[in-house]
Amino acid sequence: MLMYKHDLVYLTEEASHDAAIELINEEAFGPGRHTRAAARIREQGPHDLSLSFICADDGETIASVRMTPVLAGTVRGHLLGPLAVRPSHKNRGIGRELVRIAVEAARRKGSEAVILVGDPPYYCPLGFEKVAYGALIFPGPVDPGRVLVVPIAEDTHARLKGKIAWRR
């Protein structure tokens, strides 16, 4: 008998994934996660399910990436995060693949940029670039060296100046 021990599939997020995603984020970031500056933006309005993705292993949700529509300066883009992979499934390229899928989906939907607060060594090989220090004002303190963007519109960097907030 042939058995696949790991049958990974990537799916667009649906409401039914909510509870599993909550647990994954709780496990990855702990109870302090709601106070981070990026989390405050996400509290301003819902994320975009059509640009958010999960990875399931044999039907169990084991990783998630979410995307929230934001206005950053004059850029109509998306904030990527949280991104989390269950510890049992780390270092298999799942995080990278979720980022790739989310950025590609945003591009197709006409987003002008994908923005996040994260580690440059992880995200820069995936197409992210540093935003000019202090150019974006978050609703809370952020480390300016960790504000990154995949510029999609040509003049993105020049227009990433001012507040970043949830948008409709």
Ligand X SMILES: CC(C)(COP(=O)(O)OP(=O)(O)OC[C@H]1O[C@@H](n2cnc3c(N)ncnc32)[C@H](O)[C@@H]1OP(=O)(O)O)[C@@H](O)C(=O)NCCC(=O)NCCS
Residues in touch with ligand X (CB under 6 A): 28, 83-85, 90-96, 118-119, 121-122
Name the residue nearer to ligand X (CB basis): 33 or 167: 33
Name the residue nearer to ligand X (CB basis): 31 or 121: 121
* Residue 115 C-beta: closest distance to ligand X, Å: 12
Name the residue nearer to ligand X (CB basis): 16 or 91: 91
Name the residue nearer to ligand X (CB basis): 92 or 161: 92
Alpha helices in 51-153, H assignment, sequence order: 94-108, 120-123
* Residue 70 C-beta: closest distance to ligand X, Å: 16
* Residue 82 C-beta: closest distance to ligand X, Å: 6
* Residue 83 C-beta: closest distance to ligand X, Å: 5
How far out from the chain centre does Cα 23 lie?
17
Q: Which long-range contacts (CB under 8 A, 24 or more apart) does 68-71 make?
A: 68/41, 68/42, 68/166, 69/45, 69/166, 69/167, 69/168, 70/41, 70/115, 70/164, 70/165, 70/166, 70/167, 71/163, 71/164, 71/165, 71/166, 71/167
* Residue 49 C-beta: closest distance to ligand X, Å: 20
Cα–Cα nearest to 10, from 90, 98, 76, 74: 98
Residue nearest to ligand X (CB): 95
Name the residue nearer to ligand X (CB basis): 64 or 111: 64
Strand partners, 129: 149
